[in-house]
Amino acid sequence: MKKHDEGLKPTCREVHRLVSEGMDRELSLVERTRMRLHLIVCGACTRFNGQMALLRRAMRELPPPEVPGDTPP
């Protein structure tokens, strides 16, 4: 365990990491619970969580449709 992950209450540093790792692996029940409880009370991490979701959605839409007439003939 890293030094920031050991407290009773998770820090933003831990929760940011969990938000990202949660996109790549299944978090443990303990990790999920720590993250969710923190997100309820933390605006910064909630925003970060939303930004990560947007980033994923955007990547799945690549390449975006070009505007008609935008491509050279």
Partner 1 sequence: MTATLTLHHQLEAMRPQLVRFAQLQLRNEALAEDAVQDALIAVLEKPERFSGQSTLRTYVTGILKFKIIDNLRIATRERQIDCDDDQSEDDVIDALFIADGHTRDMPRPWGNPDDALEQKDFFRVLEVCLEKLPAKTARIFMMREWLELDTDEICKELAITTSNAWVLLYRARLRLRECLDLNWFGKRAVE
19 CB neighbour count, 10 Å cutoff: 21
By CB under 8 A, the count of residues binding partner 1 is 38
First to last CA, the chain: 57
Q: Which of 1, 8, 24, 29 binds partner 1 (CB under 8 A)?
A: 24
Supply the minimum distance, in Å, between the C-beta of residue 54 and partner 1: 4
Contact (CB, 8 A) for 17 and 8 = no
| Residue 28 touches partner 1, criterion: CB under 8 A | no
User: Considering the rule CB under 8 A, would residue 12 count as an interface residue with partner 1?
Assistant: yes
Q: Yes or no: say if 19 and 52 are a contact pair by the CB < 8 Å rule.
A: yes
Token pair listed for 64: 């975006």
Interacting residues with partner 1 (CB under 8 A)? 4, 11-14, 16-17, 20-21, 23-25, 43-45, 47-48, 50-67, 70-72
